[in-house]
Structure formats: structure tokens, C-alpha cells
Structure 1
């Protein structure tokens, strides 16, 4: 019976719908005592908590929310294999489809387990009262955090306020509650947990455990989302109601929501910096000049014990090595798969090394609108000279030196589109004919090339993802950081950009843009300084700041897209909360012409339609099976059959 109770507690609960676990939920009093004995043992207690941790979203994924925006995209050849992200991109999706996101079915189980831990856990040999208090606060955070993820994903969700001890309809047939009721409740849970937890742990084995800073980080992300145009007075959501006819979303815009986001981000930054968190910066051998390549790359790859204090919430032991394999060109002889692409629009988004945007938008035929203030960007021809950058990053050629302070990044005879770009571009994108350090040759993405089509394991957009990969990793030899890679669920750079965005939006609302401009620029410029590009300001060599908050909004969003590209689905949520998803994720997507042969080089380097997508909804559907079981639930209108 003890084994049965533990398995049931971990795996058989779904609070949003009628559960089939009635035998467990309707247990006799002596069974309840058996559940209590699970927490008499240190190992069992830690296993219980570990189950909750394992429900954290993975960082190294490519078939989830990270792959359905306009940046990271699996090879279109994987569509025939039923890849969920590609089906979603093309609108081949219903409420019966298996989830790109499965939060609705997984998070309630973890929430229940968290409540049970809080109720039953107590000090045992090897676990002190202090440690139990921390563990219970971690569980309180998870209750709030998982609710925040649910409400940001589905919009209309119930609040699970306790772990049901019986199978009564009141406990199981929960109804959806107003959006801001869920937001405020979840935000408060995370805030209260932050008051108990330490800001850091001294023990290296506790790296990745929830801290007060992690609580404040996820709370800030939630409140930024809650202030956005998607939910804050959006007329398109006005008719969405629950089973009682109660409106889910507010019909009136509340500017205070932006002030709440400002305060949450400011609190996070203050507490994080007080705890020693800072942007990860590495220097050239002179010890004073920032190396933007290594700084940006290792902000994700290095751990705290390696000097990286930027990560505010890490997911330890993520599957980084497998991600590297998918991002290694298939023909390198290294067991690479070479099919995780990035989009042309992401390539277009990166700044030039002079800090300016090369492309300002697109014409109706998909052609780019070039920035007239940029002189060194071209979509024709090839470079005539080698291009060196001040960096110890050695992976741009086969003869780089980690102590040279000046390394080759763009070899002559490279397509001009990829020259003179900012450092973050080269850390994030692998383009055709670029040198591959582990393979010791240039990439060959041409049709019938060593790394190209017609294989489905080929970069059909013309690009592969380099962001988040270890440049030294050899999949054949399992070398690199395979077994120790963490994932970053939140880093300080996001906090800076979120604060700048929230303050700018609040300034637009109350007419204080000019008064707050220096504070906004302070945090945007910290990101640009680390990136090795000119900052916004009025001094010589700086870029004149925008005259209005609306113009600043565009720059902040561009900075956010570049800095946080391909990280854990952030872009998809950004497009949703900015109400841009319908515009940017519906219609033709462009790429390089991966059908061109090596002998037709100029034909390869031209924009062609890669695929045509169909955007369905700003919200994910509640699984239809749960709608059928729980008559108190209401499906989001976009996903009702026949719409």
C-alpha cells in the first residue's frame, strides 16, 4: 500500500477535469496515515520535491513554444514525421491535437504534489526545520509559478487553492476565474515565497534550486504579460466568459498594470544586484576591454562556479548535448543532424556593428525595406577582405587564437549580408559557407551539398541555430558540456529589458517619457555595451535616442528580440502580448534558396518563400477531452469546433 500511495500521489491527478483516480482520492483514514509516512524519510521527501522540479519547462527544446514563433524552426522535412511545432505553424491544429504545450495536463499534478508537500513534510533525520521551511516555500513558489504559466498560456483557467482530499464535484469540477484574479493570486504566492527563501545557496549541489530571486523573476515576467495590450482592455477578449457568465478579461484598460510591472521589475533588479547578480562579462587579455563574443555566448553556457552570475533561475541537467547534436551539420561526420534552423527574419533583426538596424520592415512582396542610414549592408555580392573583431572567440576560422585579442570572424568571399554584423549575430546564427570549427571545414548547405538537401536533416531556411550550443562540442565523441549543461529559465538581461519596456510603456501612458528617458536608456545601454555595439546617447559615437516613447518601443522590442533570441519560447510570448502574432506569424515566411546547387551560388543567396503559415489563436486550446469531462470549463472561442 505504501508503494501504491506514493505512485498515486505522483502520477494520477488532474484537477482541471474529472479524475480516474477515485480509489486514491476516496481513501480510508488508515490510507491517509500511509501517505504521511512517505514524508518520514529524507530520500522520499527529496524525491517528491524533485518530481515537482522536473515539470519546469526545458530550455533545450525545439518542438515547443520556442519553435512556433518567427526565429527557431525545425527543418520543414520533419513535418512528415509529425513534428508538432510544424503542424502548429501551418494551422493543422485542433483542441484534440497532442500539445506543443502540455501545461494543462502536467502542471495541475505538480501543483497538487506541492500542496501535499506543504501539508505533510516535516523535519526528519538529515533534514532540518530550516530546510523544510525552504522546501515548503519552494512548493509555494511552484504553485504560483505553474498557475502563472497556465494563465499566460490559456488565458482562462481555474485556481487550484488546495489539494483535494476527496473526489467530490466541488473539488474536481473547477471553473475558470477572471484573468486578473488568477494573475494577482499567483503573483502574491511567488512574492510570499520570496520572503522566506534565501537569495542564493552556498552549496554547489543546490545550484538550480528556487531562490528569492527566482521567485521575483517569474513574478516580474507574469506582471509584464498582465500589463500588455493582449489582456489589458483588449476589446477582442471582451466576450470571453466562464460558465457563470463572468467576464474573464477586463474591458477597460488599467494603466496601473504597467506601474505594477515597473515596480516588479525594479524590485527584481534591486534584489538581484544586491545578491551579486550581474551581466556576464568577459574581457580581452588587457583585462579592461569587453569581449562581446565570449560574454554573450557564455552568459548561457557557463555556470555560477565558472564566474557567471547572470542566471537568476537555472534548470540544471538539461539536454543541452542533444540540442548540440541537432545543431551540428549532418555531413560533418560527427553524428550531427543539422536540422534546427533559424529564420531569415531573425537574421534580418540583428544590428550592424555600428549599432544600427539594417532592415526596417518588409514590402508586400516580402522584399526588405533597407535602412538608408546604414552604408555597409548589402544583399548582393561577396566580401573582398577578411573581417577581424576584437575578441578571443576563436571559432570564426581554423587558426584563431584565444589570446590574440583580434580574431577572424568573417572570411573574405562571404555573402555580404553576413558581413559587418554585431557580435551576437555570429554567436546565434550559422550561415552557409561559414567555417565550422569542429568539422574543420566550411558548411555546405547547397542542394546535394555535404550538409544540405534533399535530406530532411538539412537547414532548409539556409541557416542553422548556433545560439545555446557549445562550439567545442563533438557529438561523435560526446565532448563539450554535454553532461553539465544548464538551461537558463531567467537571466538578468531579461530583467533589464523588461524594466526598460515597462517603464517606457508607463511613461507613454502618463506623459513622462522625457523625464524617464535616462533611466530607460540606462538598462538598454547595459545590454548594448555588453554586446559590443554603440549605445544610445548624445555623446560622440553614440546613437541619438528616439524623440518619443513610441519610437523607443520599437527599439526596445528590437533589442529584446536580438538579445533573447531562441531562448525558451520568450519570442512567442512577446509576439502574443504585443498583439503582433497575427501579423507576423500568418502568411509567407522567407529564407535563402536551399534548392540551389553549389555551382549556382548567386541563386542560393536570394530570398524565396520557405513556407506559408496560418496563425489560429493568441491562446492555446484546452484539451478537448478535459472540456468533455468537466462541464464547468469553457473553450477559448478560436478553438471551438466549427470556428
Structure 2
């Protein structure tokens, strides 16, 4: 590591509230010394906010490692940094997007804060205790982000001397030891964190619900096949992943009890979230005419509504016109970039209106799904019809409406053939590579014809729907209490406007065994958490990423000028590559060069 982590020039951050929005925005305010940073309560609070500034900006496609880099979508922005990940173009010497150095800087800054805050005059003890709990939460959270990317981490359990010799640098701990350290940090922090934000201006700061939810997600990952001996059915990938003393850095032995530990943590997080008043976003009273269907409206606003009852932790930094919403929306006179195209993989993952996979529903015309069908809005493909509300709420297809503001218009009819209004035409950029556009995470009242984002909202780092699915998955994999697992999946399904598992599956043989329920909960995650930074990690932790990320993706023939030409399944000509080493990210070679005892991840 960089002199265990290079000395950080103190950048103090303060909170602001923009456009009367009730969430935290972080902007820099330079202060030259640590002494200045702790000279009074306001300066100390600013320093604490700066500790939050190392949280990755998840909604930014350019710099986010996990937003648009799985198989959910293909974009027209292959020239941007993130696109090197689906192409497999990252190495230890050129890691492209690496959080290693920044996160360790953030951890060090948190320890500096903890070690200095007691000296702040005129700051009462209860506030000091709260601030330390927030810093401890961030130490745990940053270690988790490192663990998720790199596997076993170098545990930073104190503020190390920046002048320490290389021989004294700590080395990578085992994966299980890393987990235990993070659990301890999160549990310690949660004892002194508030259940809910103290005031609206504190939105985005740590709470006990957030700490317990991070812990639950991490333990779910730890129980998953990649980190748990390959699971029940696969071999571990890490038989030769040893440190210099021969310790196995990731266990190669499957331990079923890790699923029980994860299930218990998920239930604890769900219970404390309930005590905090967090609930699924349903029966929306949001002041909007569209979507007109009430279930689709709930789904469209589930986190776009900045007052959503479901958000456990929202990341509050402002969006720009080059971020998620403008990338997704249909172009108009040089505004918006028309380039986030859902793939055939995700399109076929959504259920039918009966809540079954399209290949299993006897009422769905699966064999003819690619046929052209006439509708009131014009010709479209059978695949786009008779689908569940989440498909209609989150996917824009040929001859359907996209809810967005253009002057007096509140929706636009989207057509994607070559010469249509949102087709590729002659452009080399700002087109959908698949003949579809994403609508999820785009506010229906977003004003398009201006160079600013008219609707900002907190990006969902964690929401209750995820916790329910986390809990269900852990119960299913533990092999007990399938009934409760189905109950929690059904909470998500019911909100989505589809029948419960038993209602949907009983007519075709039922869903009562572990293998079937595993398929169901994984498909539910694929649908419900679509484009929320999850699938990049899910495919890896399930140890199946090589089955999905190693082939070019498919959509419609966007060069087709007629319906017959356009509605033809076509491979998108952007290469995709995944190898076994890509299950983990590489530690930057520059860090290995500084400390040759630091073990690199396999394959790099």
C-alpha cells in the first residue's frame, strides 16, 4: 500500500442543501491542517463529512464499476471508462477503476477523526460519541467495499504511522477474518447510531438500520459460492490462493452455517428497519399523472420519489446531465443521450403477467415471442406484450410510450428502427444498441430540453426490497423454512402486481424444493434490482459470471429500416470477455511493487 496509505492532505467537506432538497450534498472546502480541522464543532463536523466523500458515486456510469457493466444493458458509450470492464480490459498494471487507494485513504481519515475529535472544544460528549460511531461505520463499510472487490483485505484496525517501515506493513488477512473484523465494526457503530436521521439535513449519514443492512448484505455475500467453497454444487476457485505462510486466504470448504448467519443478520436488519418505519413503497400519492397505471407508478417512483418509504440508505450527491437519467432518455434536439439499451437477457428475465418465467407460462406464446404483433400504437414484437408491470414500468420498446417532459408533452412515442425518431440513423453515438431504452431510475417529470437535471433524488444504496430478497435467499440456501422465504419474496411480487409464488407455480407443479426456489429468488433479484448496482456482484458471488459475461449480448437489428428487418434478434457488435480471474478485481500493481509481501489476486 502507499506508505500504508499515503498521508492525506486534509480536505474538509461541509454539507449543503440544494434546491430545498432534503439530502446531503458534499462539496470541498479546503483547510490546510488537521489542527484547523478540529478547532471548533463546525470544523469537526466538516471533517466528518469529508470522511463520507470516499463513498463511490454509484449512479455515475463513467466511474461506477458496477452500474452498467453486467449483462443487463449495452450502451452507446463504449468509449467511456466503465466499458472496459465488460470487455475484460483491466489488469493489475491498469486496473481502470480501482477503489483500493481511495478507500484506504478514507479509512485512514476516519481514524484521524476518531483520534482527534475528543479534543474539540465546545462539542458535547453525546455528539462526540455519535460522530465516532459514524466514523466507525465508515471504517467497516469501506472495508466491506474492499472485500467485495478484492476478496481478503488488509485490515486497517488503527491509524498507522505513515513513516513505518515496509517490513511492518500489515498483510492480507483471510476472508473470514476480514468478515469478522467488519462485523465487529458495524455492530460497534450501530450501538451509538440513531435509528433514523436526526433531521432532514442529516439524510445520507449513517444510522443503525444502515449499519445492520450493510452487515446483512456482506454476510450474504460471504455465504455465497464464490467465498464459501463453491457452494453445494461447485468447486472452489481458490485452492491455490495462499499467503506466504500457507494460510488459505479464501476457504475451499463449504460451510452451510454461513447461510444461517446471513439469514439471522438479514432478519435483524429487517426488524430494525420496521422499527424505523421503513416499508415497501406502495399506493403512491406522488403528484404525477404518469404512469397512469397505479402499480406501474409505484414501480417507477420506488426510489425516484425522494421521500420514498423504502430507502434505507440513499447516496445524495447531485446528478449531472452526463449521468444516469440523461443517458437513458430519448434524445431531442441535442438534449439527452438515448444510449442505455436493455439486452435480450434482461428482457426475457422479466415475468409474464401471470408471474411466471416466459418459458414456463402455458398461457404465454413463448415459441412465437419474436413475431410482429399489431397494437393500438403500431407494430411491436410479441416479447413486449403480456408481460408483468415491472417490464412496462422500466422498459421502453418500439411503439410504446416513454414518460418524460418536453414542453407541454408528458410522454413521447418511442420508435427505434434505423430512421425512426430514436433510431441510430447515421449517428456513431447517442443511440440504443439494442432497440430498447431503459426507463428505471428516470423521473417521469424530468425536463429534457435543458442542460440541467430538473429532478434529483438519492440513489438507492440499500432499500427494503433488497433486504427481503437477501433474507429469502439465505433461508433457501440454508435449506429450511421455505415458507418464510416465499413470504418475503411474495412481498416484493405483490408490490410488483404479480401473483404469489404458490399462486403462479402451483398450476405447473409447484415451487417447494430448494433448486426451484433458488432459481426463483435469483430471477426475482435480476428483475427487482435491475440496474441498481447488484448484478455485477451477484453473478460473481454465485460463481456463474462466466456463463453470462463472456458472450456478446443481443437485441434487435437497429440497422433495420422496416418492421421485418428491425424485429430480428441480433448480436450487438461490442465484444464481451470474462475469465476466471475476473471474479475478483486486481490489486493495483503499484501497491504490490511497494510491498512485495502483499499477495496479488489469482490470475493477475
Give your verdict on TM over 0.5.
yes
Equivalent residue number for residue 356 of structure 1: 356
Could you say which residue in structure 2 is the equivalent of 1:163?
159
Indicate which of 510, 515, 528 corresponds to 2:493.
528
Q: Which moved more, 1:471-480 or 1:64-73?
A: 471-480
Q: Which residue is 2:83 aligned to?
A: 86
Q: Secondary structure at the match of 1:66?
A: coil
Q: Residues 324 and 475 of structure 1 are in contact (CA less than 8 Å); yes or no, is this contact kept in structure 2?
A: no
Aligned equivalent of 1:494:
466
Deviation at 1:591, TM superposition (A): 1.4
Tell me which of 431, 434, 449 is aligned to 1:476: 449
Moved over 6 A (4+): 539-544
Give the CA deviation at 1:123: 7.4
Secondary structure in 2 aligned to 1:488? strand
Residue 224 (structure 1) aligned with residue 220 (structure 2): yes
Taking structure 1 as reference, are residues 534 and 165 closer, same or farther at Cα in structure 2, changes over 3 Å only? Answer: same
State whether structure 2 residue 207 is matched by structure 1 residue 211: yes
Instruction: State the match for 1:608 in structure 2.
Output: 570
Q: Secondary structure at the match of 2:341?
A: strand
Query: What's the offset of the Cα at 1:284?
Result: 8.5
1:116 aligns with 2:112: yes
Match of residue 303 from structure 2:
300
Cα 1:476–1:385, aligned 2, differ >3 Å: closer, same or farther?
closer
1:174 aligns with 2:170: yes
Q: Is residue 591–residue 607 contact of structure 1 (8 Å, CA) maintained in 2? A: yes
> Take 1:297 and 1:436, find their aligned partners in 2: how far apart are those partners?
12
The match for 2:602 is 637
CA contact (8 A) 1:445 1:452 kept: yes
Per-residue CA shift, 1:496-546, capped at 9, x if unaligned? 000000000001xxxx4xxx1221111010001000011122699988641
SS of equivalent residue, structure 1 residue 314: strand
Aligned-residue offset at 1:17? 5.2
Deviations 1:119-176 (A, max 9, x none): 1113757743222211110110110111111111101321011112341126873311
Is the 1:173–1:632 Cα contact (8 Å) retained in structure 2?
no
Residues 138/23 of structure 1: CA separation in 2 closer, same or farther (3 Å cut): closer
Kept after mapping to 1: 8 A contact 2:372/2:381: yes
Separation (CA, whole Å) in 1 of partners of 2:134 and 2:516: 40
1:94–1:44 Cα change, 3 Å: same
Question: What is the CA deviation profile of residues 176-214 of structure 1, one whole-angstrom value per residue up to 9, with x for unaligned ones?
Answer: 110110011111211111111111024111111110000
Alignment match of 1:132 (pick from 119, 128, 131): 128
Task: Output aligned runs, 1:222-371, within 5 Å.
Answer: 222-234=218-230, 235-282=236-283, 291-304=294-307, 308-319=308-319, 322-330=323-331, 332-333=332-333, 335-358=335-358, 370-371=359-360
User: Which residue is 1:446 aligned to?
Assistant: 417
- When residues 247 and 316 of structure 1 are mapped into structure 2, their CA distance, relative to the original with a 3 A threshold, is same
**Shift in Å, 1:296:** 1.6
SS of the aligned residue for 2:599 comes to coil
**C-alpha displacement at 1:34, in angstroms?**
6.6
Q: 2 CA distance for matches of 1:385 and 1:585?
A: 34
- The 1:124–1:352 alpha-carbon spacing in structure 2 relative to 1, beyond 3 Å, is same
CA RMSD of aligned residues (A): 2.7
Tell me: CA distance 1:433–1:479, structure 2 relative to 1, closer, same or farther (3 Å): farther
Residue of structure 1 equivalent to 2:56: 57
Q: What is the deviation of 1:477?
A: 3.1
| 2:462 alignment partner, SS class | strand
Superposed, which structure 2 residues align to 1:361-510 within 5 Å? Answer: 370-371=359-360, 373-377=362-366, 378-386=368-376, 411=377, 413-437=379-403, 438-439=405-406, 440=409, 441-453=412-424, 454-455=426-427, 456-477=429-450, 481-482=454-455, 484-507=456-479
For residues 384 and 212 of structure 2, the distance between their equivalents in structure 1, rounded to whole angstroms, comes to 39
> Which of 546, 560, 571 is 1:582 aligned to?
546
The CA deviation at 1:636 is 1.2
Question: 1: CA distance between counterparts of 2:419 and 2:375?
Answer: 28
Structure 1 residue 108: Cα displacement: 0.4
| Structure-1 separation of matches of 2:508 and 2:339 | 38
CA distance in 2, matches of 1:463, 1:621: 33
Separation (CA, whole Å) in 2 of partners of 1:534 and 1:346: 20
How far apart, CA to CA, are the structure 1 residues paired with 2:249 and 2:351?
40
5 Å-filtered alignment, 1:558-577, equals 558-567=523-532, 569-577=533-541
Rounded Cα–Cα distance in structure 1 between residues aligned with 2:115 and 2:437: 48
**1:69 alignment counterpart:** 70
Change (3 A) 1:88 1:384: closer
Supply the distance in 2 between the matched residues of 1:309 and 1:171 (Cα, whole angstroms).
Answer: 50
Which runs of structure 2 are paired with 1:135-154 in the superposition (5 Å)? 135-154=131-150
SS at match of 1:273: helix
Residues of 2 paired with 1:54 and 1:20: CA distance?
A: 17
Structure 1 pair 283–108 and aligned structure 2 pair: CA distance change class (3 A): closer
Quick one: distance in 2 between partners of 1:123 and 1:334? 54
CA gap of 1:564–1:192, structure 2 versus 1, over 3 A, is same
With normalisation by structure 2, the TM-score equals 0.87
The 3-state SS of whatever aligns with 1:414 is strand
Q: Which runs of 5+ in 2 are unaligned?
A: 11-31, 231-235, 287-291
Q: Any conservation in 2 of the 1:60–1:318 contact (CA below 8 Å)?
A: no
SS of 2:570's equivalent in the other structure is: strand
Shifted more, 414-423 versus 497-506: the winner is: 414-423
Offset from partner CA, 1:339-365 (integer Å, 9 cap, x none): 12221111111111111111xxxxxxx
Residue deviations 1:198-243, cap 9 Å, x none? Answer: 1102411111111000000111110000001101123321211123
- Give 2:21's aligned residue: none
Query: Are the aligned partners of 1:500 and 1:521 in contact in 2 as well (CA < 8 Å)?
Result: yes
CA distance 1:129–1:542, shift in 2 (3 Å): farther
| Pairs aligned (count) | 559
Return closer, same or farther for 1:422/1:334 CA change in 2, 3 Å cut-off: farther
1:45-67 CA distance string (max 9 Å, x none):
12212222122222322242122
Asked whether the 8 Å contact 2:335–2:448 carries over to 1, the reply is yes
